[in-house]
């Protein structure tokens, strides 16, 4: 799911996780912070904006006031800063490409999801369900 977005927008897609040594379990599977696909001029209700800023406060340790005063993209960039800060719960989760990813993909796919078979082509990926 992240691969196509990361390929199309390599400078905009970043992946973070919690620092392993903190042993924090967060039930959320994925959070997308989207400034590319949402149309300009989208009105964000006060309650939704407040919740988002509070989540940014939790992840970046910046004050509510500081984050609220920032443009969205500047606030989102604070995740990168927070991931380098030892006092936050975030760390970078970028996966580096390795040759063995291409070599053993089918073996891993069979173990992870044996009911579905995915094939990858130059134009993207397709999913064949038996």
Q: Which residues of 90-109 are buried (b: 16+ CB within 10 A; e: fewer)?
A: bbeeeeeeeeeeeeeeeeee
Q: Three-class SS of residue 62?
A: coil
Kindly state the average pLDDT of the residues 74-84: 91
pTM above 0.85, yes or no: no
Q: How far, in Å, are 5, 9, 105 from residue 86 at the CA level?
A: 28, 28, 34
Q: For residue 68, what pLDDT band results from cuts at 50, 70 and 90?
A: very high
The domain limits of the chain are: 2-92, 99-129
3-state secondary structure of 26: coil
Residue 118 has pLDDT above 90, yes or no: no
The pLDDT value given to residue 10: 76
Q: Please check the confidence at residue 90 and state whether its pLDDT lies above 60.
A: yes
Residue 51: per-residue pLDDT: 85
Residues 6+ apart with CB under 8 A from 89: 18, 19, 22, 24, 58, 59
5-63: pLDDT as tens digits: 777 877 777 788 888 898 887 776 555 665 554 555 666 678 878 888 998 999 899 99
Instruction: Give the span between the Cα atoms of 10 and 31, in whole angstroms.
Output: 17
Calculate the alpha carbon distances from 19 to 27, 40, 54, 96, 123 in Å: 15, 34, 20, 18, 35
Is residue 93 within 8 A of residue 15, CB to CB? The reply is yes
Place of tokens 């800063």: 81
Tell me, what's the pLDDT at 19? 87
């Amino acid at each position: 799911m992240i691969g196509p977005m990361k390929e199309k927008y390599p400078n905009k897609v970043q992946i973070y996780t919690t620092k392993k040594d903190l042993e924090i379990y967060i039930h959320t599977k994925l959070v997308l912070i989207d400034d590319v696909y949402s149309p300009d001029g989208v009105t964000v209700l006060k309650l939704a904006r407040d919740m988002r800023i509070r989540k940014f406060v939790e992840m970046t340790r910046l004050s509510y006031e500081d984050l609220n005063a920032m443009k969205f993209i500047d606030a989102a960039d604070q995740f990168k800063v927070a991931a380098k800060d030892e006092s936050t719960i975030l760390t970078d989760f970028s996966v580096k490409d390795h040759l063995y990813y291409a070599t053993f993909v089918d073996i891993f796919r069979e173990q992870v999801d044996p009911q579905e078979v995915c094939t990858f082509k130059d134009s993207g990926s397709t999913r064949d369900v038996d």
